[in-house]
Structure 1
């Protein structure tokens, strides 16, 4: 038993073949329609004599099917010629059957799939009126009531119009879905590039804050130590010790910032990143500035509240930048 997945594969293969070889598909379709129309021209009602012009019907159906080979480029001309041939055949006394209507039904279907709705409406109504009018006055259908003469052609010609319209809407829907998918893909790529750019700016700003503060602080500590080297050796020794701590802190923060660029969360055994500095390290920052000879006073008002990591880091960097500027 053929599964649904196998049926889908076969349908995909047929669709790919139709895309690669459209003329072969059109030719096979036209030959099938010609066979149906030729056989339909030979049908009559019970106790009714067939028309004498058998070759005429074959010629008309041949012309109507031959013009269908150009339905992709000229769908309006295909409907017009096929409709005229069908009306002529019905007017000559051939019985109006779905087999005889096969070429015009195919032309109407392709018209509905390839043109806009207004064009389909105009050509469809014109074809309906012409074929139904020929069926009403045709001698071959004298045995049928007026209702049967009209409802049959109306039903069989409306069917391809409705099917073609549904096919056109389905194609438009698939194109819209594909366009939305492509737009979403482009949007995701743009968002990814934007996030990368924002992350680069953040890291650059972080590196600037770290380097500027620690270099300024180290410079101030070194200058103070040089100034006090002869007059106060004990204070100089303490400042140099603090200078070592300042440079070590700078190296740690630089390593943490640069580690963001090289960190691979999926790599096994990757060391965890250190937390970003915050107001909890404010005493350490104040102590380093005091060792450089800067008088710093910390005043806390109100009850300390926990801050989000982003706000905590921003507050720390503001204080750090202010002290660096001083």
Structure 2
């Protein structure tokens, strides 16, 4: 199949070139018509057949058809745009295929050769002969201009299609990114909620087992706390899984996210699990935006959960430092357990906290202390003064034991 199109299309173009060239050879100088000669048939067939190679070799094809056009006058035929039809077709294709400099050089040379070959066999040129010669010389140039416009149009359409494809790919990529972020958010919530509750339940169950024989009443209280903790964990797990089952077009019923106002209740749950926790505030508390408020809560929750799970600690201290533009959170324990630095942490809790903190524009560090124990520290941004009145976050409860 030819490069420029289907075999049927190429055949039609070749047949058209042959018929136009043959029709031009019928016209005579005195505006009469005469049957085409054998030379006219041969010239029309040869020049039309050459156009089959115009897509693979546009410059040689133009040269070959130009040579055929130069033979029109020597064969006693009338040079007209019709007899130059193969040259015109070759010029159009050359303008579409070749580079600009190559096309200009080849086209100017072709037009000049056609003019020179005609002038060489014309003794006396009339005004009509001159106009016809100008038409013959300009026909390839006009065809080339049309070919160049067609090339630019094809390039523009290809550019538009490419931009549309890139836009579609960008939309798909953005959709995948948002899905990934949502999955990561849900994974963090599952870790922060469920892992925390299970850790507390395990600690409370250990306390109950330890007190079962010596203090049955306290053991029963601890078991009641285990039941309450596991029930709360199941409720939160059910709510999180419900988000996954929810349709995209359905409204998202969300329970109020926890914040610093819920820290006293959180600390109480750890105290019931056997960990002595104290909380201190430096500075004046300021209402936080919901995202920052939730992040602050999760930092305290995850840090104390890790103390309960991994460190042989008796106590932990939570300190919140309120400054003009940020709030500092620091959790220190006196444990000697298997705490590891953040960069070597095998789990996802501390890594998730760093990602949460970075997402709200804060900073996060965690690692062992030189004198023993482990420290988790974060700096979270506070809203500017002009926007604090519009902040929807809850003011933290200053109460803590």
TM-score range, shorter chain: 0.7 to 0.9
The answer for the alignment partner of 1:13 in structure 2 is none
Q: Say whether residues 1:241 and 2:254 are aligned partners.
A: no
RMSD: 3.2
Checking the alignment, whether the CA contact within 8 Å between 1:79 and 1:104 is kept in structure 2 is yes
Change (3 A) 1:49 1:141: farther
Q: Say whether residues 1:292 and 2:276 are aligned partners.
A: no
Distance 1:167 1:320 in 2: 67
Q: How does 1:273-284 map to 2 (within 5 A)?
A: 273-284=254-265
Runs of 5+ consecutive residues of structure 2 not aligned to the other structure: 308-401
Residue range with higher mean Cα deviation, 281-290 or 142-151: 142-151
Distance 1:140 1:225 in 2: 124
The answer for the alignment partner of 2:157 in structure 1 is 174
Change (3 A) 1:265 1:185: closer
Q: How does 1:75-86 map to 2 (within 5 A)?
A: 75-86=58-69
Q: Say whether residues 1:314 and 2:295 are aligned partners.
A: yes
Q: Say whether residues 1:30 and 2:14 are aligned partners.
A: yes
Deviation digits for residues 59-117 of structure 1 (CA, Å, limit 9, x no counterpart): 21221112223333333332122111111103444332221222210111112223332
Distance 2:252 2:288 in 1: 27
Change (3 A) 1:291 1:316: same
TM-score, with normalisation over the residues of structure 2? 0.66
Distance 2:214 2:199 in 1: 24
2:148 to 159, 165, 170: 165
Distance 1:223 1:42 in 2: 112
Greater fraction of residues in helix:
1
Q: Say whether residues 1:61 and 2:56 are aligned partners.
A: no
Checking the alignment, whether the CA contact within 8 Å between 2:207 and 2:273 is kept in structure 1 is yes
Residue range with higher mean Cα deviation, 55-64 or 237-246: 237-246
1:296 match: secondary structure? strand
Q: How does 1:73-222 map to 2 (within 5 A)?
A: 73-139=56-122, 142-144=125-127, 148=131, 151-222=134-205
Once the two structures are TM-superposed, the CA of residue 318 in structure 1 deviates from its matched residue by 0.5
Distance 1:19 1:52 in 2: 35
Deviation digits for residues 256-302 of structure 1 (CA, Å, limit 9, x no counterpart): 222232222336xx873434433343232122122223333333442
Distance 2:274 2:150 in 1: 83
Change (3 A) 1:316 1:149: same
The answer for the alignment partner of 1:44 in structure 2 is 28
Runs of 5+ consecutive residues of structure 1 not aligned to the other structure: 1-17
The count of aligned residue pairs is 305
1:252 to 227, 235, 242: 235
Once the two structures are TM-superposed, the CA of residue 246 in structure 1 deviates from its matched residue by 1.4
Deviation digits for residues 203-226 of structure 1 (CA, Å, limit 9, x no counterpart): 333322223321221222223334
TM-score, with normalisation over the residues of structure 1? 0.79
